Structure 1
């Protein structure tokens, strides 16, 4: 009889330890998944930032090249004919203004896109944090329940032992 009780006690302890190990493994998996998602979000933000910077540099270079080209054209026309130089200067000024406006609009678009990507990444990180916190709370509750069940089982085993003990002592 004592061997059976001892076997039950060992079985209860083994089940409790197995439940704890499973909860730890699940928590490690959730943490790893969260870290992976955070790294992906960071990489996406960095890529968007780099793309915006490259696009702004491209626009700046294009405007600068076009402005230089317009300046050279205006200088050549000035030497040929004074009247033609005035017309070319006016055309160049209008074109530069137009390109400047277009570049400003494009830069604003790129900036807005980068802000949207940043906001989306921040929302995703927050969502992943919340999901991880929920999973951890669930794992904690499951562990508490398993421990409580193990305690109840141990108490029941103890009570059964106390019931059986008088009957074995009288024999």
Structure 2
């Protein structure tokens, strides 16, 4: 699915957690028990999850309340370290299945079911960065989200 110039190794399950830990530690941060718990809960969602959804999942697993503010701080760290991606329009997060590879991200967000797919297409984001630079703007992180219907919802509508 990635449209970048190379193929990604998509991590899953325990392999994804190990890749996330290695990436965070290479960034000079510690992989604490709480960070591991938050990442593991985030990685289990099949759609973007809010900090409240994640806090609820971690709280249930830990048997104690974890405040959403704590989760937000860790999610910000994860986004900065490329472990998670933030879907800006829904203020929700997804685990990055290839945290060891840095790309700008394009999100395809289904307005019907909420499913979000991310694409890495450096040619598109390079054009966006170049256009921004041409105006004297210094881009840090392009955010491109395309709203519409996923193939499943489009098929459901056509069948119904």
| TM-score, length basis structure 2 | 0.21
| TM-score, length basis structure 1 | 0.20
Greater fraction helix? 1
